[in-house]
A and B are shown apart, each in its own frame.
Chain A
């Protein structure tokens, strides 16, 4: 691990979850979760479906509320719903499994909207930023199209550009490639790898073990609402400690 090189300004963790609990009815989906994510760290959450990894990811920008515990971002606790929360959410980029691009807006408008409405950036400047970001994700030629005219992989790259346009401190990826056809997964992972390489702080819920191995600083294995195992990708994939993780890896890696 490389966290020994962190400087004073980044010594405090960027995202802190402590004693987080959440129920969906009788189901205890998050059980006493403690987690610290440092600046520039790429944390991958893996685990069987229903393990709570997506829910955990979504609690970080309060798309899911929690029943008890505390979550803070950059030292500030998550406020209740309202203007303060909106302000904090602007600092946290979110990429969804189902892309969720605004269907009635062009690709360019999707990337411009948040900048203009939330950051109050002047339109010409916002469009310039949007064009640069679309260029970066390889979609400069598609700026005038509507989301439905793009492939899934292209839509997801636009969604990443839309989140990046807010200049976020941390990016959350909730199964960003799970809804994609196999041949489109790599184009999205490439964009994510380059983000990781540039030092973006990322929380990634994924089933892409290749991505976890190559881009993650840390792998968290979740099962039944708990973080069962936490390790470097190398150690986790070669020598998982828990039976749950061994079982999970044997199912996904050998077929």
Chain B
């Protein structure tokens, strides 16, 4: 298959890998925060918040991620918002993944028995206390499985950022292809790196599932 990791290519590979990890981790964090907030909106008693949550989810979940990247990278500067492309990528990925997180959490919220929320409200808890103390912790535990799918998809989705000059793993592939290395060799290593990341995310969720299982 020939040599790939010569002339500093290994460093490029490593940098690309780390950039993908950084991009995915930051996006995962913001997607989780945003998704939780959106889910709270969607079950809120305030109609305006519910509408906002619904519109957000339907907009970002139904937009192809590449189109969303175009909109963020070329649209936001026109509105006077200027960031580097890495930040734009985090924004696009978080907005997109957040809508999936929201829907997964919301389905979890619907599995929590209504009596749990009634008991919390009867104790005098406010809506947000009921949600954060009683409903969401139980909802999150029941949806760890589907949630892991969302977060396994995230590092792979982040490859689109490579097309917007963020020097992550996919971008490494483009560089190597331009330098004339064998396409199968390049893709083998890039794929292996993504596989490794996905396996790590899956392991984290497996750990959480055994750790946080709720007996009912």
Contacts and interface: CB of A to CB of B under 8 A. Distances in A.
B118 A103 contact: no
Interface residues of B: mostly helix, strand, loop or mixed? helix
B125 A117 contact: yes
Most buried by A among B45, B113, B141, B214: B214
A83 B113 CA distance: 23
Contacts of A51: none
Contact of B123 (A81, A89, A103, A146): A89
Contacts of A146: 214-215
B180 interface: no
Interface string B90-114: 0000000000000000000000010
B124 A118 contact: yes
Contacts of A204: none
Interface in A72-99: 81, 83, 86-94, 96, 98
Contacts of A226: none
Nearest to B116: A100
Contacts of B123: 89-90, 113-114, 118, 162-163, 166
Contact of B216 (A83, A103, A163): A103
Contacts of A163: 122-123
Contact of A102 (B119, B121, B124, B141): B119
A6 interface: no
Most buried by A among B119, B122, B126, B215: B122
Given A98-B115, A162-B123, A117 B129 contact: yes
A156 interface: no
Interface in B186-216: 214-216
Contacts of B134: 102
B214 A103 contact: yes
Contacts of B126: 83, 86
Contacts of A92: 122
A83 B128 CA distance: 11
B146 interface: no
Interface string B12-38: 000000000000000000000000000
A102 B123 CA distance: 12
Nearest to A98: B115
Interface string A192-224: 000000000000000000000000000000000
A86 B128 CA distance: 11
B138 interface: yes
B interface bracket (residues with beta carbon within 8 Å of A): 20 to 34
Contact of B124 (A81, A86, A100, A103): A86
B59 interface: no
B118 A81 contact: no
B133 interface: yes
B145 interface: no
A103 B116 contact: yes
B45 A96 contact: no
A113 to B, nearest CB: 7
Most buried by B among A89, A96, A117: A117
Interface in A99-120: 100-104, 113-114, 117-119
Contacts of B45: 81
A149 interface: yes
Nearest to A90: B124
Nearest to B45: A81
Contacts of A162: 119, 123
A11 interface: no
A9 B189 CA distance: 81
A149 B123 CA distance: 23
A117 B133 contact: yes
A88 B121 CA distance: 10
A113 B133 contact: yes
A100 B137 contact: no
Interface of B: 45, 113, 115-116, 118-126, 129, 133-134, 137-138, 141, 214-216
For the complex of A and B, the 7 pairs showing the least CB-CB separation, nearest first, are A90-B124, A148-B215, A114-B123, A94-B122, A100-B115, A100-B119, A118-B124
9 contacts: A63-B122, A86-B124, A89-B121, A89-B123, A98-B115, A102-B119, A103-B138, A117-B133, A162-B123
